[in-house]
Structure formats: C-alpha cells, structure tokens
Amino acid sequence: MKVVITGGAGFIGSNLTRHWVTRHPEDRVVVVDALTYAGRRESLSDLEGRPNYTLVVADIGDPAKMEAVLQGADVVLNLAAESHNDRAISNPLPFVRTNILGTAVLLEACRKRDVGRFHHVSTDEVYGSLSLDDPARFTEASPYRPRGPYSASKASSDHLVRAWTETYGLRTTISNCGNNFGPYQFPEKLIPLAITRLMRGAKVPLYGDGQNVRDWIFVADHCDAIDAIAHRGIPGSTYLVSAEHEVSNREVIDQLLKLFGRGPEAVEFVPDRLGHDRRYGLDARRLRQELGWTPKHDFSTALAQTVGWYRSNVTWWEPLLSG
C-alpha cells in the first residue's frame, strides 16, 4: 500500500512517519513536505536508506506536484499546516494559503487520482474556548467557534474536507486533537521552549496568569490514534483525540521546574497573547469505544522522557534558536 504523509517532516508528521515506517514495513511511505522552518529533513535522518521511505520536497499548494506524487496512492494522511498561534497573529496570510488553499488543492488531487482514503489532522482550537469552571468538554457535535487566524484556517480546512466527501464522495476522516508534546517539536511551543530555556539557564516566559488550560497528549499516542482512524475509522466521520489530561500552563511549567531542580524565580510572566483561549477539553469516547484506542503514556512520565530527548539531542534543536 502506498501511504502519503503530508507535512511528514514536521513535529507530529515526523513522529507519525517513523511510526508508520516501523509499524507497517509492508507499506511504501512517501513524505511530502515543503521543508519550511518547522519541517526539517534532520527530523527524518534516521529513516534515510530504508526501502519503504521516500521524501519529496513539495508544497501541497502546487496542483501539478500533488497530482504527480499522489499517482497510485492508497492513503493520504494530511498533517501539512502552519500551526503556531503567535505567528498567525503577526502574519495570518501564510496560514490561509497553506491550511485552506493547500488543503483544497490536496483534496482535489486526491479526487483526480482516486485516492482510497484521506485522513485530515486538525485541532481542538476549531471549537473555541471553554471557561475554567465549565465541566463540559468538546464533542464531535460541538459547534465550530474559532477565535484566531490559525484556528479559523483549520476550521475552514475541516469544512473543505467534509465538502469533498459530500459533493464528490471522497472517503475521508477528520481528527481533532489537543496539545501534543514529545521529540522533534520545534522550540517555539510551550514545552520545548521551556526545556531549551531551562537547559541554557534562562527564564521561561509564561503568558498572562499562566492559568490557561490545555488538553495534553504525548505525540506517540496521537500517532497510534491516527493509525487506528486511517485503518478502521468510518468514512465521513470525525474523531476527537485526547488523553483527557487537562492541565494549566503554569502546572506544566512547575513540573518542568522540578525536573530541572529550579524554582519559581525561573518563570517570567509576560503580557497575554491576543485572543488567548482560556481552556480546551476533548471528550474522546467515540474514538475509544468505536476503534478501541487508548493512550499508553502517563503525562508525567512522558514529560520526563521528553526532557531526556532534548538533553540528548542538543545538535537537533540548538541551531533552531537563532532562527
């Protein structure tokens, strides 16, 4: 089976590529990535030379290249996206081009090449924000209420996926996931930013009061979920992916401080981000009940493992700090 992973040199994409190449050695895996700042060839260097792995440097917004690379493809896993909220606030147009137009181009190429299955990886941010005292969590039936350029672009891409299903009969699934952490994450996101700063003896910046809550999942568990959905998910369905571990940004940083033997003096509170959503929470019962998926990693243990990875891979992340 030919499996195409777009955005496969990014954080989640490189972990998924490694997962798929090793878990499904009978499949031929083709990674498509534009190798922008967050997509790095080095994140896949250990796979070079494997007979079932190929990297194609291309933009999903290029129709001719997408039709060429999707020739004979059985499955497309779409992880190509601009994903950093701060960058979206300062310059939203690249998010519109990649996340909306790029998804449309990719869907149309899948239709023309008669791809058997298209899975689209999205975010919990499309549902908007929950209050801290609200016991509810988002479900697949929750209305879309994106509040920022990034989340709006991802919500738009979700709608396009559903439109290609309803209009053209493309066999698609969508997954909306919470905050991922783990190896190969670009050091602009909260956890790797904090780790790399603490490793250099610097302070960790924390937005606002630090009480914003996120639904955290170890990236390997997310990859397992994508695998399950791609193989057994019902076409036309959406699945929420969550380890159901909600924790505030301040609590995450406090756990990291303990791992580094640092105290609260290592935290620097900074002005809050524009439109900063207060809380995300996902109900993953459908994924668990229909497909039998469960997360395998405890948050605290996986966080310590992530710290260990960054300590052991300074040559991967240190060159990124100047960029």
Q: Determine how many CB atoms are found less than 10 A away from the CB of residue 254.
A: 16
CA 306 to chain centre: 16
pLDDT at 284 over 90: yes
Percent over 70 (pLDDT), the chain: 98
- 150 noted as active-site residue: yes
| pLDDT, tens digit, 9 for 90 and up, residues 238-277 | 999 999 999 999 999 999 999 999 999 999 999 988 888 8
Percent over 90 (pLDDT), the chain: 89
CA-based max dimension of the chain:
57
Check 150, 184, 280, 310 and give the catalytic one. 150
Residue 94 is predicted with a pLDDT of 84
- 125 noted as active-site residue: yes
Average pLDDT of the segment spanning 80-107: 86
Average pLDDT of the segment spanning 68-87: 90
Check 125, 158, 221, 283 and give the catalytic one. 125
Residues written for the chain: 323
Cβ atoms 233, 225 nearer than 8 A: no
Q: Which domains does the chain have, with CATH numbers?
A: 2-181+218-244+279-296 (3.40.50.720)
pLDDT at 185 over 80: yes
- 221 noted as active-site residue: no
Check 82, 124, 215, 246 and give the catalytic one. 124
pLDDT at 180 over 90: yes
Average pLDDT of the segment spanning 95-122: 96
